[in-house]
């Protein structure tokens, strides 16, 4: 049995773990990065990058399909080659992963250790069956894995999760997708546009990260116009037959139907990878999910010298947030017991569906729950917005939330064209604590989709200046209007 002693041990070589390691390395060379699985981040291997590669192929196919609407007629040989599509997805994915692997290979052997780690106590880890590591402080950055509900687990090789999709050699003929969240929407719509027969079931009417019921219901209708989507599906049974996965369900009109698909894609969220860490051997107090209680500004777990970062803490499982958390955790682990609160940026999310979805700052439900908060909602529809109509992308709506009295931008929810870019503008404005009036003073080029943003800001500004008595339908407080 090998025994090592180190200042900092980082468990997990994903985005959060690598950033934590690099940050802590600025303060000490006596540091170890521990990884039991494959090197290569979730984003590069099975997340952000391969999904966008598939979406890019789907967008290209969709543009060909829609070209006649612009008077452009593709040649008779236009078709989708599933083998070529997936070959590009895998090749480009491997290139992204390769850059991560190169960085890992460049680390000195003394600073990396292979094997799954398990806590023996607050300062001691058993790595595999070969090494014990005594560490002054420890960073948990073990990431997450797709969650599969028990009802799907008897489907055998007909059950896939998002990680599996990006290893396909060809596109299947049909897929039933369970989950209308970010992963389900992105992969499901992409498969549909690439010629795969799709049926998607959501739960409780939820669509991605959208919280406002008006935008949520509108988005559900738009998606359902393109592919089979039931955002609150009633499933009667799921099972295997000779051809694949048999699903019996009630359709939107209440009719009972049975369909068979090649695969079932469980896009039902991801779960933390902390259950096998032996946290019961530590002094840490765990919540109902088995995650240690932690301070989201220091990432410190309780009063210990253990820190947690990235998807493992299930706080904000997004890459840039994982990187920020890795920096905070790595800095505090290296300087322990001198720790400081790190800066947490304005929350934002983007769904690369079409239309896209973006949120920035506080969402509608969060603001409604703030009983003392009084805010207005600036609204715009993109159905008649000039630039959107030019591109035949005129589906969507944007809600901007601003504090009554101060005019401060509080947050926004958007379903529509170029939401990834509008979402950034809104997140930047929120980060800089801008008011609606200040945002309206910025330049807006014509014709652009940003003019739609200006329309929503003008709508919010008008309501801010009216006052509650004159704008009863515009002021929202507690359970708002």
- What H or E segment, with its residue span, contains residue 409? strand 409-416
96 pLDDT exceeds 90?
A: no
Question: What's the pLDDT band for 467 if we cut at 50, 70, 90?
Answer: low
Query: Looking at the structure, do residues 451 and 366 belong to the same domain, yes or no?
Result: yes
Q: Is residue 68 part of a domain?
A: yes
Domain hosting 52: range is 2-145+271-335
Q: ∠ CA 316-321-327 to the nearest 5 degrees?
A: 130
Same domain flag for 318 and 415: no
> Tens digits of per-residue pLDDT, 407-462?
999 999 999 999 999 999 999 999 999 999 999 999 999 999 999 999 999 999 99
Average pLDDT over residues 144-154: 90
Give the pLDDT of residue 480.
Answer: 35
Domain co-membership, 368 together with 443: yes
The residue out of 280, 302, 335 marking a domain boundary is 335
Q: What is the pLDDT of residue 481?
A: 35
3-state helix/strand/coil string of 162-188: HHHHCCCCCCCCEEEEECCCHHHHHHH
Which two tokens mark 223? 């998606």
Please indicate, yes or no, if residue 341 is contained in any of the structural domains: no
Q: Which CATH number do you get for residue 420?
A: 3.30.390.30
Dihedral (C-alpha) 59, 62, 64, 68: value to the nearest 10 degrees? -140
- Cis? peptide before 437, omega within 30° of 0: no
Residue 427 counted as domain residue: yes
In a domain, 340, yes or no: no
Question: Would 342 be classed as within a structural domain?
Answer: no
Same domain, 225 and 127: no
Tell whether 343 is covered by a domain.
no
One domain, residues 136 and 174:
no
Percent of the chain with pLDDT over 90: 79
Domain total of the chain: 3
Residue 84 has what pLDDT? 95
CA distances from residue 203 to 277, 310, 353, 396 in whole angstroms, order as listed = 31, 26, 18, 22
What pLDDT shows up at residue 472?
Answer: 44
Contacts of 253 (CB under 8 A, 6+ apart): none
State which of 335, 360, 382 marks the end of a domain. 335
Which pTM value belongs to this model? 0.91
Say whether both 19 and 138 belong to one domain: yes
Same structural domain for residues 317 and 381? no
* Predicted local confidence at residue 114, as pLDDT: 93
Distance in angstroms (rounded) separating the CA atoms of residues 390 and 444: 18
For range 37-66, the mean pLDDT:
86
Q: Are 383 and 326 members of one domain?
A: no
Q: What is the pLDDT of residues 336-354, one digit of tens each?
A: 999 999 999 999 999 999 9
Q: Which of 313, 335, 357 is a domain's end point?
A: 335
Query: Looking at 47-56, 103-112, 239-248, which range is the least confident one?
Result: 103-112
**Four-CA torsion 268, 116, 279, 30, nearest 10 degrees:** -120
Judge if 157 and 137 occupy the same domain: no
Q: How confident is the model at residue 103 (pLDDT cuts 50, 70, 90)?
A: confident
**139 and 275 share one domain:** yes
Q: Is residue 354 one of the residues assigned to a domain?
A: yes
Q: How confident is the model at residue 468 (pLDDT cuts 50, 70, 90)?
A: low
- pLDDT on residue 479: 37
What CATH number is associated with residue 165?
3.50.50.60
Give the per-residue pLDDT at 473: 47
Residues 322 and 433 in one domain: no
Provide the pLDDT for residue 470: 46
- Is residue 26 in a domain? yes
Q: Give yes or no: residues 409 and 356 share one domain.
A: yes
């Amino acid at each position: 049995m090998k025994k090592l002693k180190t200042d900092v041990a980082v468990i997990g070589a994903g985005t959060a773990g690598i950033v934590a390691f690099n940050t802590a390395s600025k303060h000490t060379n006596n540091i170890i990065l521990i990884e039991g699985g494959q090197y290569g981040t979730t984003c590069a291997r099975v997340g952000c990058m391969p999904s966008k590669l598939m979406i890019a192929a789907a967008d290209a196919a969709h543009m060909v399909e829609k070209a006649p609407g612009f008077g452009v007629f593709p040649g008779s040989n236009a078709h989708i080659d599933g083998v070529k599509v997936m070959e590009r997805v895998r090749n480009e994915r491997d290139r992204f992963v390769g850059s991560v692997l190169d960085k890992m290979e460049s680390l000195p052997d003394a600073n990396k250790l292979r094997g799954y780690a398990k806590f023996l106590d607050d300062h001691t880890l058993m790595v595999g069956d070969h090494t014990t590591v005594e560490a002054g402080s420890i960073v948990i950055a073990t990431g997450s894995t797709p969650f599969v509900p028990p009802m799907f687990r008897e489907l055998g090789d007909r059950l896939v999760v998002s990680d599996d999709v990006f290893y396909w050699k060809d596109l299947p003929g049909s897929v039933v997708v369970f989950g209308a969240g970010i992963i389900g929407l992105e992969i499901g719509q992409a498969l549909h546009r690439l010629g795969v027969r799709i049926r998607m079931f959501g739960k409780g009417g939820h669509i991605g990260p959208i919280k406002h019921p008006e935008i949520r219901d509108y988005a559900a209708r738009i998606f359902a116009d393109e592919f089979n989507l039931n955002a609150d599906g009633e499933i009667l049974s799921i099972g295997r037959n000779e051809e694949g996965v048999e699903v019996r369900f009630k359709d939107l009109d209440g009719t009972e139907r049975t369909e068979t698909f090649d695969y079932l894609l469980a896009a039902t969220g991801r779960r933390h990878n902390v259950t096998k860490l032996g946290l019961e051997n530590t002094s840490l107090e765990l919540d109902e999910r088995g995650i240690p209680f932690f301070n989201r500004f220091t990432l410190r777990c309780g009063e210990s010298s253990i820190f947690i970062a990235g998807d493992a803490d299930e706080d904000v499982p997004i890459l840039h947030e994982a990187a920020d958390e890795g920096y905070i955790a790595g800095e505090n682990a290296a300087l322990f017991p001198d720790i400081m609160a790190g800066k947490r940026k304005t929350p934002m999310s983007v769904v690369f569906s079409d239309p896209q979805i973006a949120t920035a700052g506080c969402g509608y439900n969060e603001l409604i729950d703030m009983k003392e908060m009084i805010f207005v909602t600036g609204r715009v529809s993109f159905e008649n917005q000039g630039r959107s109509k030019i591109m035949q992308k005129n589906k969507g709506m944007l809600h901007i939330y601003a504090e009554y009295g101060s005019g401060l931008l509080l947050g926004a929810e958007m379903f529509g064209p170029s939401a990834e870019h509008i979402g950034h503008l809104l997140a930047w404005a929120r980060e800089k604590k801008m008011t609606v009036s200040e945002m309206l003073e910025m330049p807006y080029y014509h014709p652009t989709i940003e003019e739609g943003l200006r329309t929503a800001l003008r709508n919010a500004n008008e309501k801010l200046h009216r006052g509650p008595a004159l704008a009863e339908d515009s002021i929202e407080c507690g359970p708002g209007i």
